[in-house]
Amino acid sequence: MTDNPDIDVVNRELTGKSAQEIILWAHRQFGDKMGMLSSMQRTASAITHILYSLGLTDTEIMFIDTQYHFQETLELRDELIRKYGVNIKTYYPETTPEEQFYEYGKELYLRDGDYQICCRLRKEQPYLKASERFDALLSGLMRSEGGARKNVQPVLYDSRNHVYKIHPILEWTMDEVDAYNREHQVPVHSLHHQGYTSIGCWTCTTPIREGEDERAGRWRHVRDSNPSAGQKLYCGINLVDLMNKKN
């Protein structure tokens, strides 16, 4: 790795660059200390294929198994490994769902004020621990997702784990993601074809209805029981969501 980059300078230089150019810059800058964070959604499928097309299949792709994932999520993980030979490694929370229920005496994912604890225990903490060996991680956030992500920059420094987050497809739209995956015949999550536009844990994910925002299916039960929680809720694994959660 070279000297730590000047974020402002790098973001000016990388603005308007292609996803491939941004990933190659990150690999030159961070070498084998560059990894990828994958949620197994359409955006992650596209970036995984870009790594494959660039010959960077040794890059570790970090997948956090919350132990509440849809079976289809785990099946996609395994299919990407088989098809592209990519280096996906799975990490787990310190406690099982059963141990978590015993400790708190309730299902934390059911209501506002509790679901954030569940996300912290099952997503954020294992992510922060697993990411300690990296200097940079690729991520699939896009400005077109709106809300907290509409101002995302190519590079962001996450002070929680001292890792640079790299956003190679920040200027893409979901239509462009879908077009890329179709063109290259990239495996995508099968639930995307059943109305699940944004997929997390099965406990907190539903299909969207006609005319709804693409993230409307995430924590729907929390918004329905507490409308003041807002329309866009996040798990906290991405710093940009925490920094701009009121936007």
119 is catalytic: no
Nearest to 26 by CA among 156, 180, 174, 178: 156
Q: How far apart are CA 153 and CA 99, in angstroms?
A: 38
DSSP H helices in 125-198: 125-130, 174-183
Q: How many CA atoms lie within 13 A of 122 on its CB side?
A: 25
Q: Catalytic pick from 118, 119, 201, 235?
A: 235
3-class SS string, 98-124: HHHHHHHCCCHHHCCCCHHHHHHHHHH
DSSP H helices in the chain: 7-14, 19-30, 42-53, 71-84, 97-104, 115-119, 125-130, 174-183, 220-225, 239-243
Residue 11 near residue 155 (C-beta atoms within 8 A): yes
Burial class (CB in 10 A: 0-12, 13-18, 19+), 40: buried
Catalytic sites, residue numbers: 235
